[in-house]
Chains A and B, each alone.
Chain A
Amino acid sequence: PQDPRVLDSMLPYLTAYYGNPHSRTHAYGWESEAAMEKARRQVADLIGADSREIIFTSGATESNNMAIKGVARFYKSRKKHIITTQTEHKCVLDSCRSLETEGFRVTYLPVKRNGLIDLKELEAAFQPDTSLVSVMTVNNEIGVKQPIHDIGEICRAHKVFFHTDAAQAIGKIPMDVNNMKIDLMSISGHKIYGPKGVGALYVRRRPRVRLEPLQSGGGQERGLRSGTVPTPLAVGLGAACEVAQQEMEYDHKRISQLAERLVTKIMSEVPDVVMNGDQEHRYPGCINLSFAYVEGESLLMALKDVALSSGSACTSASLEPSYVLRAIGTDEDLAHSSIRFGIGRFTTEEEVDYTVQKCIQHVKRLREMSPLWEMVQDGIDLKSIKWTQH
């Protein structure tokens, strides 16, 4: 949900202060421009950047598209190779696929069973004409945190630009673009309790990263993203970033406690539950559990008064099980039974307890009905069964 403080900061710009921030000649424009620049500074402060390095976009999808396609196309006369991972967000993978049709080569790095990439494989993947490496900071489906610091060092050593999709990480874990040697970073408004429809892209100035703009027009946002910046949304994003910076530590402690509570309670009552992704290098608020011998969709429908998903929002319409879970080597039957629990700033303890209780109740009920569960109880090894077609 949107933080009420964010809404408070946005309202004046939706009502009285309606000037176009790019109008240089009158007071309506000046006051909107001042608000936009203040928001830019708030976003920059959260990640340790200069405010001139922040470009407002329509969301992290646009930022990812701009970063990947923009950098690749600008340097295409000399560099035609890109490295990314198999667990990236769909917009990153789709941008890479469309670049492949333009003649670029893309290496999709596999991940280990715990969801993290192997740094040695990353080193081996570099080629003399690599222009960009894109690795997301925190995965949106299993919550694992990649070793961004180490990846940044490796990229710097190879003089290759490093882009990270930090939509799930910003405002939740401390990020510093200089410390982590990040050259491009995507930011999403609605992931940090801000408004939907706005995001940002951090583009490093020293050493300068050049992009071919996706949107042509009047040259706003340093010529990289033309179009009027939506002042109320940008102000909301800025306020969300400032609030997140202040509340980061407290939120993290609270969410860790709630996550611990949820996982311990479920795992103590119900056997054969697997947590997908590394236990240690993760963000606590995104938990993905697989309940063996239970079908994920039926569990979700049983828990329909709790907002859960078996994947991410952007893949909830598709029928295939999550490619992220497949990349970490989950068996297909476990991949179908996975549920993602998201815990945030506004989740209460009662909500967690309710979810846990309902979850345990329905898992037990569905397992009673499941023939696979019966067979396991009888000691049959499911993998030895030959399933026949009727």
Chain B
Amino acid sequence: VNVVFVDREGRRVPVRGRVGENVLHLAQRHGLELEGACEASLACSTCHVYISEPHLSRLPAPDEREEDLLDQAPLLQENSRLACQVLLSSALEGAQISLPRVTRNFYVDGHVPKPH
């Protein structure tokens, strides 16, 4: 499945992944700055991403715990999801996945944490 990541500076990074792969791990494998502080255990909001339409509507709806964590993510938009809960499938072919400019962890000094 081909998707295009757009990182914090606006650089487009096309990547290719396997069906069923977790979008968070896919991003981390390609060096994108998604922190994933809770290691995909649905306990933080650092893997917050924006997913383009119409791909967003094709995904299964987020469950309540994901919605609760999304509430706490800054710069929330209507097309926000947690990347660790999105699995690659053919429905995401050609999707554009953008990173928000900030996450809940306050790295205002520009520090980029290594993937957990």
- Residues of A in contact with B (beta carbons under 8 Å apart): 52, 74-75, 77-78, 205-206, 208, 210, 212, 216, 219, 222-224
Asked if B57 CB lies within 8 Å of chain A CBs, one says no
B positions within 8 Å CB-CB of A: 64, 67-68, 71-74, 76-78, 104
**C-alpha gap A216/B104 in the complex (Å):** 11
Q: Which secondary structure characterizes the binding site on chain B?
A: loop
A-B contact pairs, 22 of them (CB 8 A): A52-B68, A74-B76, A74-B78, A75-B78, A77-B77, A77-B78, A205-B64, A205-B67, A208-B67, A210-B71, A210-B76, A210-B78, A212-B76, A219-B72, A219-B104, A222-B68, A222-B71, A222-B72, A223-B71, A223-B73, A223-B74, A224-B71
Selected from A75, A212, A216, A223, the residue in CB contact (under 8 A) with B72 is A223
Q: Which 8 A-B pairs have the closest CB atoms?
A: A223-B72, A222-B71, A223-B71, A219-B72, A208-B67, A210-B76, A219-B104, A222-B72
Known: A208-B67, A210-B78. 13 other contacts (CB 8 A): A52-B68, A74-B76, A75-B78, A77-B78, A205-B64, A205-B67, A206-B64, A212-B76, A222-B71, A223-B71, A223-B72, A223-B74, A224-B71
Whether the pair A78, B78 counts as a contact (CB closer than 8 A) is: yes
Main secondary structure of the interface of A (DSSP, over half): loop
Contacts of A224 in B (CB 8 A): 71
Least CB separation from B79: chain A residue: A77
* Closest chain A residue, CB of each to CB of B69: A223
Shortest CB-to-CB span from B109 to chain A, Å, is 18
Q: For residue A210, which residues in chain B have a CB less than 8 angstroms away from its CB?
A: 71, 76, 78
Query: CA of A78 to CA of B77 in the docked complex: distance in angstroms?
Result: 11
B98 to chain A, nearest CB (A): 14
- List chain A residues, Cβ under 8 A from B64: 205-206
Q: How far is the CB of A290 from chain B (nearest CB, A)?
A: 47
Question: Complex formed: what's the CA distance from A77 to B50 in Å?
Answer: 14
- Which chain B positions have C-beta within 8 A of A216? 74
Alpha-carbon distance between A205 and B78 when the two chains are bound, in angstroms:
15
Contacting residues, chain A, for B76 (C-beta < 8 A): 74, 210, 212
Contacts of A208 in B (CB 8 A): 67
Q: Which residues of A contact B67 (CB under 8 A)?
A: 205, 208
Q: Which residues of the partner chain A approach B104 to less than 8 Å between Cβ atoms? A: 219
B85 to chain A minimum Cβ distance, whole angstroms, is 15
